[in-house]
Structure 1
Amino acid sequence: MTSYSISEINTILKGQLIGNTNHSIEGPEEIQKASNHQITFIGSNKYLKFWKTSKACAALVSENTDIEPGENRAFIKVKNVDLAMAHILELFNPPAPVFDVDIHPTAVIHETAKIGKGCKIGPNCFVGKDVELADGVILYPNVCVFDETIIGKNTIVWSGTIIRERCVIGNDCIFHTNVSIGADGFGFRPSDDGRGLVKIPQIGNVIIGHQVEIGANSCVDRAKFSSTIIGDGCKIDNLVQIAHNSVMGRSCIMAGHSGLAGSVTLGDGVIIGGSASIKDHTTLHSGVTVGAGSGVIGDVAAGKTVLGYPAQDARDMLKQWVAIKRFMKNQ
């Protein structure tokens, strides 16, 4: 079992050690669930009240924390508690599932596929015609990569994910279970006789940059023509929909159940809260934040925060909510 002393952890974090403990630290845990061999974190002053009854032997705290840890207990004061806890989680991160062989004999790999050095391909995977996997790509069991797709170095694809034909994936990406990349965009038009729907062919592809992470059961649809694009460093939560021909800039964040309709454009660093929806052919410029549950129906200028349905400037929307609350109270 991996364990560290409090001084070893403080050396790694480069924090300020307050107090001391002779307990070895065997992992992190929530403040109310921790044992005396675990370290916890106090990211907000509202959680300080739980420290007295917590069994944790140590905690990461912010630099302005003014209480003492107590007997045989320690605080490590750090500038950013969340980032420090991320380092702790890395220390105790269990190893990834083991591959007994690099390429499982049940994997089906087309003779024209190019497989780089150090790739691992699990049971029942499918790798199609003219696919290129760069060095260090990992395909966990039951992944399908269809024809002419290119996947960059050290990208990890978890089980159940399907990457359709002609997609281009960057380096160091992570796709969690059951991600769909490159399925047909949602394109239909009424037929001439008005008695049915005509499917519009979707002949484009998906291009995903480097260091992109996509959560379980999320979908990125191929473009009608040209490409649906996700920029470097974007992080996408579970159950997110990104429709055909949308373009995301660098380092955007989309929380769970949010969605982009067709041909949406996001600048760099856009943050979209959970269950928010963005209307088709809308542009959100760099630095925009969209509150959870909001519905954006028009372009949003750089740096703005919008909220509500339909979404408006957050300050204006909050004022409206206050006014409505007062009005209802006085009825």
Structure 2
Amino acid sequence: MTTALVADADASRTSPQWRADALAQQLDAELRGSPDVVVDSVDALDHAGPSSLTFIRDAKHSRAWTRSPSPCAVVTRGCEPDSWDPQERALLVVDDADHAMQRLLEAVTPPHVAPPVGAHPTAAIDPSACVDPSCRIGPFVAIGPKCRVEADVVLHARVSLGAEAVVGAGSELRAGVVVEDRCQLGQRVLIHPNAVIGADGFGYLPTPQGPVKIPHAGFVLIEDDVEIGACTTIDRGKFGPTRVGRGTKIDNHVQIGHNCDIGQGCIICGACALSGSVRVGDGAILAGGVGIKDNVAIGPRARVGARSGVMNDIPEGETWVGYPARPASQTMRIIAAETRLPEIASAVRRFTKQRPRDAQANAEGASP
């Protein structure tokens, strides 16, 4: 999708601006209101100004837009506000405002600045490494012995590739990423700054002399189209691979232990921690801060609520929440019961005070 540019009032520069009618055409939206409305930024509704385009996905946001200064909004069909001025404002009605927002953001987000094609003079590339000439290699990148770096890979400043590492075609590793020995990245993998792929797993044997480190002889396998957030760590397997399946998206500050097997199309949100040998089925979603015990299996399309502690296997398609995690309906019943604990405790205290008096009265009544 192309982005229309309208000249700014200052002839020495231009700023991106969009007319409502042009946006409607680009988004395949139904235009309601003035086609002449011009916006120059895309903002969330609570931050929208008098030249902001914003988005409405439900009735709550619809009511809020009528009170906001935003002159133009993309709105999911059926959520249009009741009262607004079509002479001064515009609505772009679509089937799904979130999908329209994604399309628009793709058009207006500036591309990440990449190094030029070739290797920066400060890059250290082992002579035995195989690096495609189309690659872009930034300052102070280190590429170890027998690495394979395929076509159109981008390695930003201070990326480090260990011996025999493989980076698939079209992948991009942002500044400071470390890929340890023998680890393999598929095609179009995106890894954000300071992530570490292939550190040793956390395994020790207790002895009278203290913990003894267990060697981890495996590797990490990242399949095609995976995205990995900043400062995430994925440990190598003890035997064989730690695997992340095709199309999975992993947020920042996630810890994935040795020999985990993560399926395709999963979502793992920030600050999750997966112990060793956890299995996550295709399409599962782990919300922020989830912790998972070692050797637990999360079924395909299962969902785990934020800050949950998972101690047991979760069946396919189920939603679990809580600490410890339980099926969501059970956890909600427990929480509802907890809110009544003060009332129940008061009733118990009244009962225990009354019981001795009742016993005494019964005893006196039974005396001759």
Shorter-chain TM-score tier: over 0.9
Q: Say yes or no: does 1:118 pair with 2:134.
A: yes
Give the SS at the match of 1:322.
helix
Is contact 2:74–2:97 with CA below 8 Å preserved after alignment? yes
Given candidates 225, 229, 240, the residue that maps to 2:254 is 240
Partner in structure 2 of residue 220 of structure 1: 234
Output the aligned Cα RMSD.
1.5
User: 1:97-146, CA deviations, whole angstroms, 9 ceiling, x for partnerless residues?
Assistant: 14355321111111111112421010011011111111110011111011
Given candidates 284, 300, 303, the residue that maps to 2:314 is 300
Given candidates 51, 54, 57, the residue that maps to 2:71 is 57
Given candidates 262, 272, 276, the residue that maps to 2:286 is 272
Q: Say yes or no: does 1:27 pair with 2:20.
A: no
Q: Which has the larger radius of gyration?
A: 2
- Which segments of 5 or more consecutive residues in structure 1 lack a partner in the other structure? none
Q: Say yes or no: does 1:87 pair with 2:103.
A: yes
Cα gap change, 1:97 to 1:69, in 2 (>3 Å): farther
Given candidates 156, 177, 181, the residue that maps to 2:197 is 181
Distance in 1, Cα, partners of 2:115 & 2:258: 35
CA apart distance, 1:49: 3.2
Partner in structure 2 of residue 4 of structure 1: 18
The amino acid of 1:183's aligned partner reads A
Partner in structure 2 of residue 165 of structure 1: 181
Is contact 1:21–1:72 with CA below 8 Å preserved after alignment? no
Give the SS at the match of 2:323.
coil
With normalisation by structure 1, the TM-score equals: 0.95
Q: Say yes or no: does 1:103 pair with 2:119.
A: yes
The amino acid of 2:200's aligned partner reads D
Worse-superposed segment, 201-210 or 26-35 = 26-35
Is contact 2:57–2:79 with CA below 8 Å preserved after alignment? no
Cα gap change, 1:69 to 1:203, in 2 (>3 Å): farther
Q: Say yes or no: does 1:42 pair with 2:56.
A: yes
Is contact 1:138–1:154 with CA below 8 Å preserved after alignment? yes
CA apart distance, 1:48: 2.5
Partner in structure 2 of residue 72 of structure 1: 88
User: How many residues matched?
Assistant: 329
- Which segments of 5 or more consecutive residues in structure 2 lack a partner in the other structure? 1-14, 347-368
User: 1:260-318, CA deviations, whole angstroms, 9 ceiling, x for partnerless residues?
Assistant: 10000111011111111111011111011011111111111111111111111100110
Q: Say yes or no: does 1:321 pair with 2:335.
A: yes
Partner in structure 2 of residue 135 of structure 1: 151
Is contact 2:114–2:156 with CA below 8 Å preserved after alignment? no
Partner in structure 1 of residue 225 of structure 2: 211
With normalisation by structure 2, the TM-score equals: 0.86
Distance in 2, Cα, partners of 1:79 & 1:243: 41
Distance in 2, Cα, partners of 1:285 & 1:244: 19
Cα gap change, 1:266 to 1:32, in 2 (>3 Å): closer
Worse-superposed segment, 95-104 or 8-17 = 95-104
Given candidates 153, 162, 167, the residue that maps to 1:151 is 167
- Percent identity among equivalent residues? 35
Partner in structure 1 of residue 358 of structure 2: none
Give the SS at the match of 2:331.
helix
Given candidates 11, 28, 41, the residue that maps to 1:14 is 28
Given candidates 257, 260, 271, the residue that maps to 2:274 is 260
